[in-house]
Structure 1
C-alpha cells in the first residue's frame, strides 16, 4: 500500500500536467504523510540532495558548453569535420555526425548539440541535395553522442543518484568507446544510404585552407584535452576540470574567436542560471522522493520482483532495457536517472554488473528516449530547427533507431566497451 500511495500520487500528478520536479516533491510529502514521517525529514533530504560538492560540475559544464555554443564553436567544428570527411559521397552526413562528436565532447548536451550543429548543417545539407528530413534525422541521432562522450552532465547526475559511490572520472572514460561506436555505426549507415540514394560528394578542401580551418578549430578542441587530461593526470578533479573549462571557454570565445559580443554575456549567464535552477530543484526533490522510497523499501520489493522472474543476468538486463526504453518515451532523462538508479542499481549489483557499466546502459537507453515521441526533447528541438512536423522527422529516424538499438545491445552485453578504458587509465 505504501508503494501505491507514493508512486500513484506521482503518476497522478504527472497525468494532470504538473512539472516532473514538483510532482516528485509533492508526492514525497504525500508519502511522508502516509507513513507519518515528520516533514522536517523531507526538507533535510531535499537540502542534502543538492548539498554536494560534485554537483558543481553541472553548472560549470553547462556554462562552458553554452559559451562555446554561442561563440562560434559549432561553425568551426563543422568546417573542421568537413576537412576530415566531407569529400566522400554523402560526406555532409558524415560531417554532421563527426561535428556532433566534437561538439558533444565540449558541451555535454544533446539539445545544445542539435540546436547548434543543426542550425548550421540542416540548411547546408538541403542546399546540397539532401532531403531535409534526412538531414534532421542525422543531426538528432548524432547528438545522442553528447550523452556518452565526456563531459556528460547526465553522467554526473547518475553518479549523484548512485549515492556518490560511482566515480565521475570513471563514468567519463566509460562513455568514450560507446560514444565512438555510436558515431561509427551512424556513419556506416549514412554511407550505405548515401550510396543507395545517390547523395552528392562534398568538395576537397585545398591544403592551405584546410590548415587554417584546423588551427582555428584547435582552440575549441583543446577543451576536451583540458578536461580529460587534467582528470587523468591528477592535476584536478572532475568538478575542478569543469571550472577550468569555463575559464578556457571564456578566453577562447571572447579573446581568440571574438565572434560574441560582450553585451550578450549577461543574457547567456541568465539563461544558464534559469536552466540550472530547474535542474537543481529537480535533483533536490528527487532526493526526497528517493529517501521516501527507501523508507518504504520499494527498491527491495522491485529487486525481488525482477529476480523472481529470472536470476539470469542477461535476461534481467534485457527486461531492464525494455523498461527503460518505454519509460524514456514518457519522461525526460534527468528525472528518470534520479528515480530509477536507486531502484535498478541494487538489482544489477546483485547479479554482478559493474555500476559504471550499468551507467552506460542507462545513458544509451535514455538517450534514445530523448529522440522518441511523445516526450523526446531533442526530437522537438531538431524538428523546430528544421521547421518540419514531428511525424516526418520520426519517419526519417526509423533506420537510425535500428543503429541505436545495435549500440545498446553491444554496450549491454559487451562490458569491456564501458570498462576497458577506466580500467586501463584509472588503475
Structure 2
C-alpha cells in the first residue's frame, strides 16, 4: 500500500501536467507523510543528493557543449565528415550520422546534437533531393549516439543514482563501442536506402581542401582528446576533465574560430544556468524520492517480482527492456534514470549483471525514448528544425526504430560490447 500511494501520487501529478521535478518532490513528501517519516530526514536526503563533488561535471559539460554548439563547430564537423563519406551514394545521410558522432563526443547532448547538426544538414539534404522527413529521421536517430559517447551527462547522473558505486570514467569508456556500433548500424541502413531510392552521390574533396578542413575541425575535435586522453592517462578525473573541456571550448570558440560574439556570452551563460538549475532541482528531489522508496522497501519488492517471473536472466533483461522502452516514451531521460536506477540495480546485481553494462542498456533504451512519441524531446526538436509534422517524422523513423532495437539487443546480450574497452583501459571498479 505504501508504494501504491507513492507511485499513484507521482502518476496523478504527472498526468495533470506538473513539471517532473516538482511532481517527484511532492510525491516524496506525500510518501514520507504516509509512512510517518520526519520531514527533516527528507530534507537531509535532498541536500545530500546534490552535495556531491562528481556533480560538478554536469554544469561544466553542459556549458562546454553549449559554447561549442553555438560557436560554429557543427558546420566544421559536417565539412570534416563530408571528406570521409560524402562521395558515397546517399553520402549526405552518412555525413549527418558521422557529424553526429563527432558532435556527440563534444556536447554529450542529443537535443543539442539534433538542433546543431540538423540546422546544417536538413536544409542541405533537402536541397540535394532527400525528403525532409527522412533527413529529420536520420538526424534524430543519429543523435542518440550522444547519449552513449563520452562526455554523456546522463552517465554522470546514472553514476549518482547508483550511489556513486559505478565509476564515471568506466561509464564514459564503456559508451564508446556501443555508440560507434549504433552509428555504424544506421550508416549501413542509410546506404541500403540510398541504393534502393537512388539518392545522389557527392563529389570527392580535393586533397588540399580536405587538409584545410581537417585542420579547421581539429581544434574542436581536440575536446574529445582532452576528455578521454586525460581520463585514460590518469592526468585528471572525469569530473576534472569537464572543467578542462569547458576552458578549452571557450578558448577555441572565442579565440580560434571567433564565430561567436562576446556580447552573446551573457545570454548563453544564463541559458546554461537555467538548464543546470533544473537538473540540480530534479537530482535533489529524486534523491529524496529514492530514499522514500528505500524506506518502503520498494527495490526489494521489485527484485522479488522480477526474480519471480523467471530465473533466466535473459528473460528478465527482456522484461526490463520492454518496461524501460515504454516508460521512456512517457518521461524524460534524467528523471527516469534517477528514479529507476535504485530500483532496478538490485535486480540486475542479483542476476550477476555488471552495473556498467546495465548502465549502457538503460542509456540505449531511454535514448530510443527521446525519439519516440508522445514525449520524445529530440523528436520534437527534429520536427521543428525540419519544419515537418511530428506524424511525418515518426513515419520516416519507423525503419530506424528497428535498427535501434537491433543495437539494443546486441548491447543487452553481448556484455563485451560495453565492458571490453573499460577493462582494457583498466578503469573498471574505480
- For the residues of structure 1 that align with 2:157 and 2:120, how far apart are their CA atoms? 30
Residue number in structure 2 paired with 1:87 = 87
Residue number in structure 1 paired with 2:76 = 76
- For the residues of structure 1 that align with 2:351 and 2:201, how far apart are their CA atoms? 49
Q: Does 2:31 correspond to 1:31? A: yes
Displacement after TM superposition at 1:40 (Å): 0.9
Residue number in structure 1 paired with 2:291 = 291
Residue number in structure 2 paired with 1:310 = 310
1:329-353 Cα shifts (integer Å, max 9, x gaps): 0100000000110000000100100
Residue number in structure 2 paired with 1:119 = 119
Match of 1:353, SS state, is: coil
Alignment of 1:232-247 (within 5 A): 232-247=232-247
Displacement after TM superposition at 1:426 (Å): 1.4
1:395-418 Cα shifts (integer Å, max 9, x gaps): 000000011001000000000000
Match of 1:352, SS state, is: coil
1:187-215 Cα shifts (integer Å, max 9, x gaps): 00000000000000011111111110000
1:247-306 Cα shifts (integer Å, max 9, x gaps): 000000000000000010111000000011000000000000000000000110111011
Alignment of 1:147-158 (within 5 A): 147-158=147-158
After TM superposition, the structure 1 stretch with the greater mean CA deviation from structure 2, 11-20 or 89-98, is: 11-20
1:34-70 Cα shifts (integer Å, max 9, x gaps): 1111111111111010000000000000000000000
Residue number in structure 1 paired with 2:183 = 183
TM-score by length of 2: 0.99
Alignment of 1:250-289 (within 5 A): 250-289=250-289
Residue number in structure 1 paired with 2:400 = 400
Alignment of 1:13-412 (within 5 A): 13-412=13-412
Displacement after TM superposition at 1:311 (Å): 1.3
- For the residues of structure 1 that align with 2:228 and 2:124, how far apart are their CA atoms? 32
- For the residues of structure 2 that align with 1:244 and 1:112, how far apart are their CA atoms? 20
- For the residues of structure 2 that align with 1:194 and 1:4, how far apart are their CA atoms? 51
- For the residues of structure 2 that align with 1:199 and 1:269, how far apart are their CA atoms? 41
Runs of 4 or more, structure 1, over 3 Å off, are none
- For the residues of structure 1 that align with 2:294 and 2:345, how far apart are their CA atoms? 13
- For the residues of structure 2 that align with 1:38 and 1:345, how far apart are their CA atoms? 27
Structure 1 gaps, min length 5 = none
- For the residues of structure 2 that align with 1:121 and 1:15, how far apart are their CA atoms? 36
- For the residues of structure 2 that align with 1:245 and 1:133, how far apart are their CA atoms? 34
Match of 1:330, SS state, is: coil
- For the residues of structure 1 that align with 2:379 and 2:163, how far apart are their CA atoms? 31
Match of 2:236, SS state, is: coil
Residue number in structure 1 paired with 2:12 = 12
Match of 1:200, SS state, is: coil
- For the residues of structure 1 that align with 2:198 and 2:18, how far apart are their CA atoms? 48
Match of 1:248, SS state, is: helix
After TM superposition, the structure 1 stretch with the greater mean CA deviation from structure 2, 36-45 or 165-174, is: 36-45
